[in-house]
Amino acid sequence: AQTRRLYYGIDNGALCFWPLTRAAAAASKFVGVHKGPVTAIATPRKEDGELGRAGLLVSGSVDSTIKVWDYQGKVILDPAVCVQTL
């Protein structure tokens, strides 16, 4: 079964998601923060290559950075870690 989530970025730079479940009112989860508003979010699928197979999330910001997030703790054991900033 595939886990479904709604990802969103906020003007203060925060990157978050809501798990889309049938359970009543799932809480929003914090992933990490950019120095500026989030302008793009990519969720690679397993068939998209290494990023997708690792379950990573990619986000971009007006601070001119792209960040790769391990929000599930698959690469690094502590969830919601910025793996790389480009």
The secondary structure of 3-68 as a DSSP string is: --EEEEE-TTSEEEEEE--SSSSPPPEEEEE-SS-EEEEE---GGG-HHHHTT-EEEEETTS-EEE
Residue 49 Cα distances to 30, 53, 54, 72, angstroms: 25, 6, 9, 17
- Quick: pLDDT tens for 52-72: 888 889 999 999 999 999 877
| Residue 61 pLDDT | 97
| Residue 71 pLDDT | 76
- Does the pLDDT value for residue 1 go beyond 80? no
- Quick: pLDDT tens for 6-36: 999 999 999 998 888 776 567 788 889 999 9
Residue with tokens 């730079």: 13
Q: What is the pTM of this model?
A: 0.82
